[in-house]
Structure 1
C-alpha cells in the first residue's frame, strides 16, 4: 500500500467516523453509565464500528481476499451493533457469534484437523472476544491495547514470517488511530460499544490465528497475554467469592486502578499498553518465539500480577473473607 493510498484511507476513515457521530447523535445512540461503567457522563456509543468498516474497505480494494473472515466480521459486527441499540435476545446474539466463529475456522482451513484442535480454537476465539468485551471499560484501553497488538503483528508479518496481507494490518491500524483520536483522552468523544470491542477482537483473533497456523507456533497466543490475565484472574476471584460472573461488575484490575486508586483512564490504558509491548518485545526478540520460554515468561508475569493484586487490593477484597 503506497503512502498516498494510506493517507487517503486515513482521511476517509476519519470522515466516516465523523459521519457516524452525526448519525449517533441524531438517533441518540449513547452510553448511559451503569454498574459496570467507569465513567459518569453520557457519551456516544458505537464509535468502534470504524473497525468493521475498515475490514470491509480492505475486502473491496484487495480483490475480495479472505471472504469467509469478512463475512463473519460483518455478521458479528451487525449483531453487536443491534445489541448496542436494542439489547437483543442472547440466543440470537450467540447464534450469530457461533456462525462467525465457524466461518473464521473455514477461512483458516481448520476442518482438516482433528476435532480437539477445533475445540481449542473455539475456546481461543470465544474467550478472546469475551475478554475484549469485559476489558472495554475505560477510555483508551481497547484502542490503545489493540494498537500495540496490530503494530506487533505488522512487524512480525514484515520481518519474521509473512502470514497475512500487510494491507489488512495497515487499514485496521489506521482505523485504530482514528478511534484513539476520539477515545484516548480524559473525556472521550465516543466509546467503542459492543460493536467495537467484539469486531476488533474478531479481527485480532483472525490475524493471530493466521500467524499461529502459518508459523506452527502457539507462542503467539501471548500477544494478548495481559488482557487474558486480567480477565481470567478476575473471573477466578469472582468464582471464589461466589458471585455471578455474568452480571455487570467493576472488579477488573484496570477498573480498580481507575475507580478506586483514581488513576486517570489514559494513564491506566498506557500502562497496559506498555506491559503488553514489553511482553511482545521479549516474545519476538529475546525468546525467539519459543513456546516453552514464552510460557515460562507468562507464568512469571501471572505470579507477579496476582501478587500485585493482593498487595494493592487486599486479601479480603479479592477473596471476600
Structure 2
C-alpha cells in the first residue's frame, strides 16, 4: 500500500478520531492532574497561576491508540517498525511522567532517553542512510546523538502556551503530505496524522492562557516521534526537507545551548533565555510569538515541499538558504523586541 493510496477521507478520519480522543481524555484527566501534577509558578516559568501539567498523557495515548487501530484496519501498516516505535514512545512517556511528578536525575534520564532512541534507530531499515559516505555504525551513533538532542530540545522549547502545537502540527502535517511523493511510508504517514490530530485536540486546552501543560510526558515522546519521522525522511534522500521542517526549533534551542555553554551555565537547569522567551520579555505577547513561529513553520514546510517537487541539488540549496534566512530573521526579531518588528 502506498501513502497515495491512503485516501483523503481516511486521513481526515485519522485526524478527527485522534483529535476527539485526545480532547476527551484530557477533559477526563484534568481533575486528576489538578490534584497530583500541578505546576507552580516560579522565577523561571512563563505562567503566573498554578496549572496542571501532564496533558501529554492524553496526547500520547491518543496518538498510540489511533496509530495502532489505523494500522490494524489498513493493509501494510501493522509491522515491526510501528510496534517498536510505539513501544519506545510509551517507554519515554513513562520516563517523562515520572519526571513530572518527581524529578529524575540527569544521568538516568539521559540513559533512558538513549534507550528509547536506540529502539527507533533499530526500527529504521539498514539501507536508510543519511550520510552514506560514513560507515554504518558511526553514522548510526551520530544519528542517535542527534535524536537524543532533538528529544531534549523539544522538551526545552515547550516553555510557553501553544508553542509545541505551533511546531508539531505543521511538521507532522507536511510529513504526512510528503507521502504523496513517496518520501514517507504509510506507517509514518499514519503516525504523523495521529500525532497531528492529537495535538489539535490538545490545542484548545493549551490556548493562552493555558488550562493544561503537556509536561515532560508529552514533550519527550513528541520529540522522539518527530525525530524518528525526520530520520526516516532524511534516510530516503530528503535531507534538506528533514532539516527545513524543524529548523526554527533546531536554531533556537541549539544557539541558546551554545550561548549558555559559552557562559559556563548549567545547561540542564531551567532558564528563560530562549529566543521565544526573549520575545515575550521584549514586548511580544504569547499569541504574537507563537503565531509568528507557526507562520514560519508553515513556510519552512512549503520550502521542504519545494525540494520534493524540484529535486535537484540547486533547488535544495536555494530552499535551505531561504529557510536559514527566514529563521535568522525571526530570531533577530525576537531578540531585539517589538521595536525591530515595526
TM bin (shorter chain):
0.7 to 0.9
Tell me the equivalent position of 2:57: 49
Long gaps (5+) in structure 1? 314-321
Tell me the equivalent position of 1:293: 318
- Offset, 1:303: 5.0
* Cα-to-partner distance string for 1:111-158 (whole Å, 9 max, x where unaligned): 996122112211321121111111111000011211111111121123
Residues 103, 285 of structure 1: alpha-carbon distance in 2 compared, 3 angstrom cutoff: same
Tell me the equivalent position of 2:28: 19
1-structure distance, mates of 2:335, 2:16: 47
Residues 79, 89 of structure 1: alpha-carbon distance in 2 compared, 3 angstrom cutoff: same
Tell me the equivalent position of 2:193: 170
**Higher mean Cα deviation, 96-105 or 242-251?**
242-251
Tell me the equivalent position of 1:120: 142
* Cα-to-partner distance string for 1:42-67 (whole Å, 9 max, x where unaligned): 00101122232123212244234411
Tell me the equivalent position of 2:42: 34
1-structure distance, mates of 2:12, 2:337: 46
- Offset, 1:30: 1.0
The answer as to 2:95 corresponding to 1:72 is no
Please give the TM-score of this superposition, normalised by the length of structure 2.
0.82
Query: SS at 1:62's partner residue?
Result: helix
2-structure distance, mates of 1:12, 1:304: 38
Matching residue within 171, 180, 191 for 2:203: 180
**Higher mean Cα deviation, 186-195 or 105-114?**
105-114
1-structure distance, mates of 2:186, 2:13: 22
Residues 67, 227 of structure 1: alpha-carbon distance in 2 compared, 3 angstrom cutoff: same
Long gaps (5+) in structure 2? 1-9, 73-77, 129-134
Query: Alignment length, in residue pairs?
Result: 310
Tell me the equivalent position of 2:279: 257
Tell me the equivalent position of 2:5: none
Tell me the equivalent position of 1:276: 297
2-structure distance, mates of 1:311, 1:239: 22
- Offset, 1:192: 0.8
The answer as to 2:19 corresponding to 1:10 is yes
2-structure distance, mates of 1:299, 1:130: 22
Task: Say what the alpha-carbon RMSD is for the aligned residues.
Answer: 2.6
Contact 1:110 1:118 in 2 (8 A): no
Query: SS at 1:34's partner residue?
Result: coil
The answer as to 2:113 corresponding to 1:97 is yes
1-structure distance, mates of 2:322, 2:89: 32
